[in-house]
Amino acid sequence: MSMRAGCVASTALAALAIAGCASPPIERDVPHVVPRVALSPYATHEACVPMRPGDRLDWSYESSTPLAFDLHYRDGNALLAPIVRSDSQADSGTYEARLAENYCLGFEAGAAGAIIGYRMLLRSPLR
């Protein structure tokens, strides 16, 4: 196989691998449940959903070891986190969006790593 053909094949395989890892979008009013994600020491994991003003996001998580958790969005280069938990193993809540942004649950493991499970439910504004 020529070097060019090898590069094309490698690129195609990489694209398939990345596409295989992509999560499906979170659907409104359908629970998005992730029962288990293993995080290496100091590793991070995000789960994001686009929200409009008035949308509500019900969220909950559990972790095998204490970790850092936040609910955040980006404004230019700034990361803004309206909800932050340190050294937490479980929490839940509901967040109502005030801005149209892509909001993310963010998890960061400590030195021991962590096994997490989480749930998200995107709901329409109250009428």
- Tens digit of each residue's pLDDT (9 = 90 or more) over 13-27: 444 333 334 567 889
When pLDDT is averaged across residues 28-34 and rounded to a whole number, the result is: 96
Write down the pLDDT at residue 23.
Answer: 61
Provide the sign of the torsion angle of the four alpha carbons 117, 121, 122, 127, taken in this order: negative
Per-residue pLDDT at 9: 45
Closest of 70, 69, 65 to residue 41, by C-alpha: 65
CATH no. for residue 74? Answer: 2.60.120.680
pLDDT band (50, 70, 90) for residue 96: very high
First to last CA, the chain: 62
**Is 40 within the bounds of a domain?**
yes
The verdict on residue 39 lying in a domain is yes
- Enter the pTM of the model: 0.80
Mean local confidence (pLDDT), 70-89: 97
H or E element: which one contains 102? strand 101-109
Is residue 98 a part of any domain in this protein? yes
Taking residues 2-15, what's their average pLDDT?
A: 45
Within a domain: residue 33?
yes
Tens of pLDDT, residue by residue over 52-75, are 999 999 999 999 999 999 999 999
pLDDT of residue 127: 73
Q: State the Cα–Cα distance between residues 72 and 64, nearest whole angstrom.
A: 22
Residues spanned by the domain of 44: 26-123
Give the whole-number percent of the chain exceeding pLDDT 70: 82
The count of domains in the chain is 1
Asked, for residue 3, whether it belongs to a domain, the answer is: no
Asked whether the beta carbons of 63 and 113 are under 8 A apart, the reply is no
User: At residue 4, does pLDDT exceed 90?
Assistant: no
Rg (CA), the chain: 18
11, part of any domain: no
For residue 13, being part of any structural domain is answered with: no
For residue 4, is it within any domain? no
